[in-house]
Amino acid sequence: MANFKYRSRDKFSRQVTGAIEASSADEAAKKLNDMGYLPISIEAAHNLSAQSFLTRFKAVKLNELSAFTRQLYSLQKAGLPLLSGLTAIAEQAKNNYFRLIINEVSRDIKEGMSFSQALKKHPRVFDEVFVSMVRAAEAGGSLVEILSRLNLLIEQKMDTQNRIKAATRYPLIALSVLCLGFLIVVTFVIPRFASIYSQFNAALPLPTQALIAINLAFKKYWYLFILGIGITLSAFFRFIRSAYGRTVWDNFKLRTPVFGALTTMLIMSRFARVTATLMKSGVSILEVLDLSGRTCGNVIISRAVSNIKESVSQGRGLSEPMKVSGLFPPVVTQMVSVGEQSGKVDDLLLSVADYYDLESGYTIRNLTTYIEPLLILILAVMVLIMALAIFLPMWNLIKVFKPA
């Protein structure tokens, strides 16, 4: 199979460009016709490595995925065939990259793939939970219900992200403004004091000397600063991608004051909600634990979930290994234990997820209050340094000009 770049028009005469896999240009044209496009030009894509590199920067946002799931749910509920629904959604998609993916999913279904198999080819858009729930829906014939649950999961994730962004917006703006002010003082104000002082036999105060040294070092060796930051960030990301580094980093995130408790709440909420949703969707318990462990976003808790999966595979329950791990709060283990006795683990896990959503929501709303003492300390130190660097030279100049 080769890659071909194409330009085409859809049924509304809008121009669409992209790439498609095919054994020949004629086959590529046939595939485009099947997708409802009228080919204008088709040519072999020679720079595949550059194209693959650029594709990494293309993404589908959560709100776009939510809209896709919600629209497909509505169309399926109305009785529209799956392929017709996908075609209609693709025509309305504003993201060209997402439109191409939906069209490719439609093409794969026409060629005999199941819906879940076609989705699985695009892991950057449709994660393992999404694909597994669709696979369970195909087995049970309940796609409408599963799409509704998937949309709830996606909207819950979007809501959490939006609340965190709103809570951290003020501290980030405050720090950005202060850093900008610090940069202006070091770049424009302090050098003027240095030029004035050079005309008199007077020594600059230590804070001013320090800022002048920073200014001169950055002007002379700015490329070393940028290189140093780049190397540090590269080393950090390489470290946390390693098995040991990821363990250290995830453990640090769980133990950090304020943010550690919030991270734990968010992970527990996601674990409980994903587990309950998958169980309600008819996915086997071992596959549920495998998926929820991989998607919780923390290797420490993922390992605990793997141990729970091993315990379940040996015929034991969920609650006891959760309690032994020491990572799951008592409220989770108790609710799971009660659920095992009553046969309603999924319902009680949803209650656990709702509980943690409320708790994390309260913590996020008060996040600014928790951050304020540290933020005030940082602001005070930086303002003090800038004030001393500016006003001490002025005071010394007064002494120089004062008659003996």
Which range is least confidently modeled, 147-151, 373-377, 386-390? 386-390
Q: What is the mean pLDDT of residues 321-328?
A: 80
Q: Are 277 and 133 in contact, with CB atoms under 8 Å apart?
A: yes
pTM equals: 0.67
Q: Kindly tell me if the per-residue pLDDT of 232 is higher than 90.
A: yes
CB 331 within 8 A of CB 359: no
Rounded CA gap, 202 and 194, in Å? 11
Could you read off the pLDDT of 274-319 as tens digits, one per residue?
Answer: 888 888 877 788 888 888 887 777 888 888 888 888 888 887 777 8
Which comes out higher in pLDDT, residue 81 or 1? 81
Classify 3 as helix, strand or coil.
strand
Q: Contact 40/7 with Cβ under 8 angstroms?
A: yes
Burial 244-282 (b: 16+ CB within 10 A, else e): eebeebbeebbeeeebebbbbbbbbbbbbbbbbbbbbbe
Q: What is the pLDDT of residue 200?
A: 64
Q: What distance in Å separates the CA atoms of residue 35 and residue 22, rounded to the nearest whole number?
A: 14
Range 90-100 average pLDDT: 86
- Asked if pLDDT for residue 124 goes beyond 80, the answer is yes
Residue 11 DSSP class: T
For 173-206, write each residue's pLDDT tens digit: 888 888 888 788 777 877 776 777 666 666 677 8
For 363-374, give the DSSP string.
Answer: HHHTHHHHHHHH
Confidence of residue 399 (pLDDT cuts 50, 70, 90): low
Radius of gyration of the chain (CA): 29
- Name the strand (E) or helix (H) holding 289: helix 285-294
Q: Average pLDDT in the 266-272 region?
A: 85
